[in-house]
């Protein structure tokens, strides 16, 4: 058998990738894993690759070639491999149509950046039978001490960027191991991609045993929500105007409301809002995660203090940063302090981009939703953007959305960075606001209301 560590045995066939997507592949794969060929379907039909590639990644076809032909030819040659479509060009990007044409999935950069990375890692992990590992983050709330786990758990060490094994499948997770996990300031542990199914089955069974609600673990709820948001966004980003009808716009809004109803707002949340918030924090970064988190936090904040329209905040949270699809990924990943003046200007335009997308796609939204989106980077002190609005000219929904936005940035886990606890994050926001009133983001009176509902951290 081939040595699973010999990467040249596991190649990825790529062709036609544009100038934005091509460097991404270099970033994701070792040189000897990349098999780049010209976008010529006849040549592709005759091409013999041995061993066969792990997966295929196509960019937009050249003039005169259709996506459908491409998929057919590729499928004829490679019956079992996944075939992906990757582009940074939004015109005619319709994920569902591309999948109908025979592609396994379609990705749009920059919004799908994290999804592409995870997908490529997962496929390689599958092909090498786990010798090249890929990890999935699962929420710690789904796992309790003194349980026999049906999967291995790992903890991510930001310092040396390594995953350390915490427990082995079949082990009882003892109290001290569990405490070690909770103390790590992460709200999550990691499971390898090839064992994620075991995790789902384990949590599903456990939840049935507890006769709890719909039998969805927090991890699964989050993953499903993220999937639903990704589906939603793929109908939003297409730049072709023939699809931009009022009917299409209405159906996007209905889809949003469906996500809000299914995953975010539920009736009993008023009492358990803090518990729910704790469960939701500590997710990995990523555009779709961010959208889902901001919607979730915003809703819970609104319910906790009884201010603003919770459903509208949820809806606004889902789509507030859509316009980032027009901002290059490298500007987005930089911290604000590291951006040049020009880059910051480009970044700030995402608010207007979002509003243009809403208008272009003819999405008719409640006024408070549009305002919350338009104002989510305004500050109480008038030092925000894009309009420099101050004080009560900023709506309560926008303030809560802004709070949820910052809260997610502080509490999410990023590679190389440990998560900040919710209480600590809130304290930081509060003190920043209190001590720098000339640049304050929030109404201090509003923050004081949260101070009352946030329990002290023990």
Tell me which residues touch Fe ion (CB under 5 A): 321, 405
Nearer to Fe ion, 223 or 321 (CB): 321
Nearer to Fe ion, 122 or 321 (CB): 321
Nearest distance in Å: CB 294, Fe ion:
6
Assigned token pair, 288 = 């779709």
Cα→Cα distances 321→198, 263, 347, 422, Å: 34, 19, 11, 22
Nearest distance in Å: CB 287, Fe ion:
9
Nearer to Fe ion, 321 or 326 (CB): 321
Nearer to Fe ion, 121 or 334 (CB): 334
Nearer to Fe ion, 142 or 321 (CB): 321
Between β-strands 34-36 and 105-108, what pairing exists: parallel, antiparallel or unpaired?
unpaired
151, 189 contact by CB (below 8 A): no
Nearest distance in Å: CB 396, Fe ion:
18
Nearer to Fe ion, 114 or 321 (CB): 321
Nearer to Fe ion, 77 or 368 (CB): 368
Nearer to Fe ion, 223 or 408 (CB): 408
End-to-end C-alpha distance for the chain, whole angstroms: 54
Nearer to Fe ion, 199 or 288 (CB): 288
Look-up of token digits 């606004």: 316
Q: What are phi and psi of 63, to 5 degrees?
A: -45, 135
Nearer to Fe ion, 33 or 287 (CB): 287
Nearest distance in Å: CB 340, Fe ion:
19
Nearest distance in Å: CB 373, Fe ion:
9
Nearest distance in Å: CB 290, Fe ion:
6
Nearest distance in Å: CB 137, Fe ion:
20
Nearest distance in Å: CB 349, Fe ion:
11
Compute the CA torsion angle 412, 415, 417, 423 (nearest 10 deg): 10
Between β-strands 162-167 and 153-157, what pairing exists: parallel, antiparallel or unpaired?
antiparallel
Query: Burial letters for 183-196: b for 16+ Cβ neighbours within 10 Å, e otherwise?
Result: ebebbbbbbbbbbb
Nearest distance in Å: CB 331, Fe ion:
13
Nearest distance in Å: CB 317, Fe ion:
8
């Amino acid at each position: 058998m081939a040595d699973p560590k010999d990467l040249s045995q596991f190649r990825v066939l790529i062709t036609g990738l544009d100038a934005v997507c091509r460097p991404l592949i270099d970033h994701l794969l070792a040189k000897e894993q990349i098999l780049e060929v010209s976008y010529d379907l006849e040549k592709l039909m005759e091409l013999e690759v041995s061993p066969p590639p792990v997966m295929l990644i196509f960019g937009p076809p050249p003039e005169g070639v259709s996506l459908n032909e491409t998929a057919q030819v590729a499928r004829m040659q490679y019956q079992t491999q996944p075939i992906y479509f990757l582009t940074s060009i939004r015109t005619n990007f319709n994920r569902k149509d591309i999948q109908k044409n025979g592609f396994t999935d379609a990705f749009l950069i920059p919004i799908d950046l994290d999804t592409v990375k995870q997908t490529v890692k997962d496929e390689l992990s599958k092909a090498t039978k786990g010798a090249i590992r890929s990890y999935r983050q699962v929420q710690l709330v789904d796992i309790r001490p003194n349980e026999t786990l049906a999967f291995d758990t790992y903890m991510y060490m930001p310092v040396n960027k390594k995953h350390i094994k915490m427990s082995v499948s079949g082990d009882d997770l003892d109290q001290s191991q569990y405490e070690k996990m909770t103390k790590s300031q992460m709200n999550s542990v990691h499971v390898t991609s090839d064992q994620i199914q075991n995790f789902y089955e384990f949590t599903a069974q456990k939840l049935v045993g507890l006769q709890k609600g719909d039998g969805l673990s927090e991890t699964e709820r989050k993953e499903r929500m993220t999937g639903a948001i990704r589906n939603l966004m793929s109908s939003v980003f297409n730049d072709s105007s023939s699809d931009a009808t009022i009917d299409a716009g209405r159906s996007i809004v209905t889809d949003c409301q469906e996500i809000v109803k299914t995953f975010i707002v539920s009736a009993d949340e008023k009492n358990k809002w803090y518990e729910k918030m704790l469960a939701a924090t500590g997710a990995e970064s990523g555009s779709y995660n961010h959208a889902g988190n901001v919607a979730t936090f915003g809703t819970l904040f609104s319910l906790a203090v009884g201010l603003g329209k919770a459903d509208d905040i949820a809806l606004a949270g889902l789509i507030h940063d859509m316009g980032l699809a027009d901002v290059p990924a490298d500007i987005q990943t930089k911290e604000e302090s590291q951006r040049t003046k020009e880059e910051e200007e480009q970044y700030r335009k995402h608010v207007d981009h979002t509003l243009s997308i809403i208008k272009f796609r003819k999405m008719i939204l409640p006024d408070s939703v549009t305002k919350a989106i338009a104002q989510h980077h305004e500050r109480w002190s008038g030092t925000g953007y894009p309009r420099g609005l101050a004080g009560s000219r900023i709506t309560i929904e926008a303030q809560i959305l802004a709070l949820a936005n910052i809260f997610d940035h502080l509490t999410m886990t990023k590679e190389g960075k440990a998560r900040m606890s919710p209480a600590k994050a809130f304290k930081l926001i509060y003190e920043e606001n209190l001590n720098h009133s000339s640049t304050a983001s929030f109404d201090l009176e509003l923050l004081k209301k949260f101070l009352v509902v946030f329990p002290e951290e023990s």
